[in-house]
Structure 1
Amino acid sequence: MKTSVKLLLALVTAAAAIAPAGAQQVVGWDEAYRQADARIARLTLDEKISFMRGYSSFFFYGVPEKGMPYIYLSDATQGVHMRDNLSDPTMVRQLERSTAFPCPIALAATFNPSLAYKYAEAVGEECRAGGIEVLLGPGMNIYRNSQNGRNFEYMGEDPLLSSAMVAEYVKGMQSTGTVACLKHFICNETEFYRRRSNSIVDERALHEIYLPPFKAGIDAGVGYVMTSYNRLNGEWAGQNADLIQRILRGELGFQGCVMSDWTSVNDTEKVVKSGQNVEMPGRKEFFGEVRELLKTGRITEKDIEKMIRPNIATSIAFGLYDREKYVPELLEKFPAHKQTGYEVAAEGIVLLRNNGILPLAPGRKILLTGRFTEAIPRTGGSTSSSAEVLGYDNVTLTAALRSVYGDAVRVVEKPSREELAAADVVLLSTGTIDVESFERPFALPKEEEAFVRTAVEANPNTIVLVNSGSGIRMGGWNGKAAAVIYGWYPGQSGFTALADILSGKLSPSGKLPMTIEKEFNDSPAKGTMP
């Protein structure tokens, strides 16, 4: 067994021994459900129906005059998404900024569960400052398809590693009073037609590969679970009674609230009877369909009460109804959060190849070129990807390198082959922009691939810097590069960490949390993608 795996097993065992489940619960589950029943008894039928679905896009419904305020939910695992699409933006006082942390797969690459706790604690503190009760993360779907546009949001391909990181993420998040939500339950390993796909998975694979991270998060005391878009063995996950009742509630022992992913369900009767607790954000026709089901006797008011009971009980269990919404003094911790982001990037950056050129001592003349010299590599636009976090004080690659190497860094946007060949050292930035709802090719675009090949062929002192949320095809140039560094989506301080690694101030210690195939034909997902 490799040393890193032994260390990880030891950390998981130690964490399980010292960290009790039910992190930051203020009321036990039995008492929370008793109080929920009392509150439900005071609701009108219309209010009960309203609790069955979301409110204003990213809120759970509330009746403030009955001591049940609206509950605000926000994305995402790698920081606080600055929400600009609320139906009623006056319902919350938005944060003016939030820290952009390295993406979760970069966190997984640290193989450091204690750092996952610290990372989530920082995100949770920013949530509490901004009045966010529920963080829609961590994401933990298993890396099976290297083209998946959301791999960057997850923790890699290994169930043990993912479980260890997820458990500490949940504990760190909930230590702040912000409640975590595990997503997406379950087998949502592709974005290609995610609203049409059917994941056919047998019981052994389900229990050995896909369920362990969710079990770890539940054992850590998580309050919420979000079901996925896809079908599992023929039925949509968000209205799948076998999945929610037998597996999630029965086998995994989950006692909190189950919510659907946004617009992921379609059969109101099945939703009500499946064990789902709240349809998010709720279809326009929902209220009419519920009333028709009541009128025809296909569901009863007791069915509605049973559906909404865990949602209300979870808010009670975590004290969400009875506390100050905003904790503005936590805004003073932004400098510490920025430092945490730097530490995650520093431990998560992976050195894939080094022929001896690194560390790069001061005095070398550097030609810097490529895709991300002036821009921070991130996922798609601010509204197209729920995981997008814009950050502040973002440090570009050029700025980070010049802070170490000064004027020895010369940026050339489109160098000729002759310029590449004449350079002392070439630093070439490449990568992908991954985004929710889409897959992207395993190979870089043809022009980008040709540029990288030209550089490594023209100059044997070319160091390739890759920013991506999952693997890319590198076979055409990997063996010719002097060094290859995988930097993921590094967050606002990640390039500072990269510069410190290039200079030798830091020793690279990141480890790949997934396999990078030579060709997509080597992938478990071959034949499933166009």
Structure 2
Amino acid sequence: MDFDELISRLDLTDKIRLLTGADMWSLPPLPQIGLDRLVMSDGPIGVRGEQWTAADPSIALPSPTALAATWDVDLVRRAGLLLAQEARRKGVHVLLAPTLNLHRSPLGGRHFECFSEDPYLTGEIGAAYVEGVQEGGVGTTPKHFVANDFETDRFTVDVQVSERALRELYLRPFERMVAAGAWGVMTAYNSVNGTTMTEHAELVHGVLKDEWGFDGFVVSDWTAVRSTEPAAMGGTDVAMPGPSGPWGELLETAVREGRVPESVIDDRVHRILRLAERVGALGEAPVRSSDIDGVALAREVATRGFTLLTNDGILPLRAPGTIALIGSAAREARVMGGGSAQVFPDRIVSPLQGLGERAEVRYALGTDPRVRLSPLPCPATARFLDEEGTVLAEHPVPTGEARWVGQLPPDVDGERLRAVRLVAAYTPEETGEHQLSVAGVGPFTLTVDGETVFDGTIDLPGGDPAAAFLSPPEHRVSVPMTSGRPYELSVTHPAGTFAGMAFVSFTLGHADPSPGEDALMAEAVRVASECDVAVVVAATTPEVESEGFDRADLRLPGRQDELIRAVAAANPRTVVVVNAGSPVEMPWADDVAAVLLTWFPGQEAGAALADVLFGDAEPGGRLPTTWPRALQDAPVTTVTPRDGKVVYDEDVLIGYPAWKGTPAFWFGHGLGYTTWSYDSIAVDGTTVSVAVTNTGTRPGREVVQVYAGPRGRLAGFDVVEAEPGQTIIITVFLPERAFQVWEDGWRTVEGEHTVRAGSSFADLPLSAMVKI
């Protein structure tokens, strides 16, 4: 297609319009050249679409850390194809994913949304994700370019980092995405060495576009463009959202006055048109057909990512008898992280449901570490009201959560909208003092059967406006209720639109009467002592892991450590399931029979857990990040800016090569249900062959890992499957970059290098020499 000819048919105003969002999630159509509206959507575990609401459900895959834990590029590519299928179903052209920032520190709040501490593993898993999505005809935008590895002061912080660390660590996954053919890249909020990334010509123009030859489009993170000329000249192609902002008329004036060359604008339009052609928004769309069972794939990915950290032989459970299932996350699993990683599946299988369908299960709460109440667990109706209180429209929602960010339902007149009222009929199962809450920011009125129980304003603490929906404050009230009697609950909140965009986000929360934490703990211990096996599901909470803030520590929230110790003392056959997206301290790990890490396991959490616990599937995961025994043992233990800066003074010493002590579990660690021998290694040039044998009694999967180069980092890997007694030979092609360091340019370190192979960074029984 002749893009130059199409551009010649556009005036400057239309070209400038195309560089800024038409609304929260799309670029405007230009019918005069046959360009359709281009729609973007958050990922990375699903496709939310333009409606940030449970009324528009999506398949919810496991978190990116779980994807990386599979170490299975073919499986990740299939997950990408499913996401493309979901995107096409929702009319989405571009998925705002994957996240390629590194696990520099375990305190990073968005750790769960990234893949690994290792740049090579991040690049390979990320490339498979990109290739799968784009094979399905949907664009990707690997993000956040670059060094956006923590959340504190993310809008303004300046990351001070050496060029060596940038090249060897933080830029390397993005370089791999360009080689994989990514159609987009998203620039980050933060600055790097004094220049904000939306204006960083040295990195965006100089490295990404010129040196690497990236031919896709560069989109800003939402609201990250804060200037006209510097951002326009810095390499950013699209400023989102829109149409208000520092571009539009201001950028058009800058071009007309000669401060920004029109050729710069033409280059950006050219990139957008190329994207539109690729995704079928310009000209005839390519035929993309797939019929992937999203539920089945979500379950398969979960089991492949589950990582068995310890096992005294209790797993898989054989004739388990009665199971004591304990923990708040056993009944309400945390299946995903928050913020832009959130989608709304039409079903979630809890551990209680999944295990209860397979065995005799007795449930006990034990302790509840959650700071905010869960949404009211029953259907509700959202009523959109005008100034007189007239209902403009009604929309059902599956729980007590009201959320429309960017766009309202199509039948709601945003100009007339003045309030949203969430109404639900709730019939409690217990008599006593129930807790109700409103989570959100601004004025709220909460009523029970028409009687006002709260009428006030909830203020937003801190300085991150995104916290209003990422981690909103909460107000609670205690209301006596009688079991079996229906109550009408309602929350009313002012609402409207700003610059054509909506922001409605609040939750009606609920909790049953509680006898108190001590009584709950005692009940859990009693149940555990009376059952054959105890399974404790321990989890982080949205106040610990989410977008918009970093973690203060690595401890499990609340009294969960105490609960696990008490249950293990009552029943030595205790399995702890860790439902977390990133590392937690486990001071009780040596005192329990097994520790199984499920990450944030997606919508099929409980079904996948049953598959693994009962041995229908093997836990296939291997750690993509080293887990410390205690925070202070990690190489990087602070992510808090000082004077507006975070200095990466550790340079390239992050992750497993930087450890001076022994962590709880090394990078690459994970157990299966069989055993393996590492038999031999052979090197021919930079081709490495490794022979492994399944020495156990059941079929199994193994992740063979190869480490090499001057930094001793991961240089290759492969996933093998074998029957008992079967030997498999895998072949790994070592990349040139494994033997290079950055010294004002890439320099190959010539000479002899040791190549090691094994099952984790700490277990590498095979070695050979390679001459470079």
TM-score by length of 1: 0.85
1:367 counterpart residue number:
324
* 8 Å contact kept, 2:225–2:246: no
Distance (Å, rounded) in 1 between the aligned partners of 2:119 and 2:219: 23
Task: Provide, for residues 188-235 of structure 1, a one-character-per-residue CA deviation record: whole Å limited to 9, x for no partner.
Answer: 110111112222221221121122221222111111011111111111
Distance (Å, rounded) in 2 between the aligned partners of 1:362 and 1:306: 66
Q: Counterpart of 2:362 in structure 1: which amino acid? A: R
Secondary structure of the equivalent of 1:289? helix
Task: Provide, for residues 19-73 of structure 1, a one-character-per-residue CA deviation record: whole Å limited to 9, x for no partner.
Answer: xxxxxxxxxxxxx5xx222222111222122112111111122212431111001
Which of 165, 174, 182 is 2:142 aligned to? Answer: 182
Q: Counterpart of 1:351 in structure 2: which amino acid? A: L
Q: Would you say 1:456 and 2:568 are equivalent positions?
A: yes
Task: Provide, for residues 477-512 of structure 1, a one-character-per-residue CA deviation record: whole Å limited to 9, x for no partner.
Answer: 111111111001111123212111111222222100
Tell me, which stretches of 5 or more residues in structure 1 are unaligned?
A: 1-31, 87-93
1:305 counterpart residue number:
266
Distance (Å, rounded) in 2 between the aligned partners of 1:56 and 1:313: 21
* 8 Å contact kept, 2:63–2:336: no
Secondary structure of the equivalent of 1:56? coil
1:136 CA displacement: 1.0
Distance 1:379 1:339, change over 3 A: closer
Secondary structure of the equivalent of 1:209? helix
Q: Would you say 1:358 and 2:322 are equivalent positions?
A: no
1:458 CA displacement: 3.4
Distance (Å, rounded) in 2 between the aligned partners of 1:503 and 1:520: 33
2:706 counterpart residue number:
none
Secondary structure of the equivalent of 2:142? strand
1:128-527 correspondence runs (5 A): 128-282=88-242, 283-294=244-255, 296-323=257-284, 333=291, 336-379=293-336, 385-405=339-359, 408-413=360-365, 414-416=520-522, 417-432=525-540, 433=542, 434-440=545-551, 441-474=553-586, 476-527=587-638
Structure 1 residues 463-472 or 501-510, which shifts more?
501-510
Larger gyration radius, structure 1 or structure 2:
2
Distance (Å, rounded) in 1 between the aligned partners of 2:173 and 2:201: 21
Distance (Å, rounded) in 2 between the aligned partners of 1:157 and 1:82: 29
* 8 Å contact kept, 2:227–2:246: no
Secondary structure of the equivalent of 1:226? strand
1:177 CA displacement: 0.8
Q: Counterpart of 1:370 in structure 2: which amino acid? A: G
Q: Counterpart of 1:400 in structure 2: which amino acid? A: G
Distance 1:418 1:375, change over 3 A: closer
Q: Counterpart of 2:611 in structure 1: which amino acid? A: D
Distance (Å, rounded) in 1 between the aligned partners of 2:568 and 2:50: 42
Which of 54, 61, 69 is 2:21 aligned to? Answer: 54
Q: Counterpart of 2:321 in structure 1: which amino acid? A: R
Distance (Å, rounded) in 2 between the aligned partners of 1:104 and 1:281: 25
Secondary structure of the equivalent of 1:55? coil
Distance 1:325 1:412, change over 3 A: farther
Distance (Å, rounded) in 1 between the aligned partners of 2:157 and 2:636: 13
Task: Provide, for residues 140-168 of structure 1, a one-character-per-residue CA deviation record: whole Å limited to 9, x for no partner.
Answer: 11111212222222211112211211122
1:324 CA displacement: 5.1
1:312 CA displacement: 2.1
Q: Counterpart of 1:137 in structure 2: which amino acid? A: A
Distance 1:465 1:505, change over 3 A: same
1:522 CA displacement: 2.1
Distance (Å, rounded) in 1 between the aligned partners of 2:174 and 2:632: 29
Percent identity over paired residues: 34
Structure 1 residues 512-521 or 417-426, which shifts more?
417-426
Distance (Å, rounded) in 2 between the aligned partners of 1:410 and 1:356: 23
Distance (Å, rounded) in 2 between the aligned partners of 1:461 and 1:410: 15
Task: Provide, for residues 386-433 of structure 1, a one-character-per-residue CA deviation record: whole Å limited to 9, x for no partner.
Answer: 11122223211111101221xx21011234144434433211111113
* 8 Å contact kept, 2:56–2:344: no
Distance (Å, rounded) in 1 between the aligned partners of 2:333 and 2:23: 31
* Structure number with higher helix proportion: 1
Distance (Å, rounded) in 2 between the aligned partners of 1:529 and 1:452: 31
* Structure number with higher strand proportion: 2
1:525 CA displacement: 3.1
Task: Provide, for residues 51-110 of structure 1, a one-character-per-residue CA deviation record: whole Å limited to 9, x for no partner.
Answer: 121111111222124311110011102111143259xxxxxxx99432111111111111
* 8 Å contact kept, 2:102–2:119: yes
* 8 Å contact kept, 1:272–1:307: no
Structure possessing the higher relative contact order (Cα contacts under 8 Å, 6 or more residues apart): 1
Q: Counterpart of 1:377 in structure 2: which amino acid? A: R
Distance (Å, rounded) in 1 between the aligned partners of 2:33 and 2:178: 30
Distance 1:96 1:317, change over 3 A: closer
TM-score by length of 2: 0.59
Secondary structure of the equivalent of 1:391? coil
- How many residues align structurally? 480
Task: Provide, for residues 221-268 of structure 1, a one-character-per-residue CA deviation record: whole Å limited to 9, x for no partner.
Answer: 111011111111111111100010111112322111111111112121
Q: Counterpart of 2:125 in structure 1: which amino acid? A: M
* 8 Å contact kept, 1:64–1:70: no
Q: Counterpart of 1:395 in structure 2: which amino acid? A: V
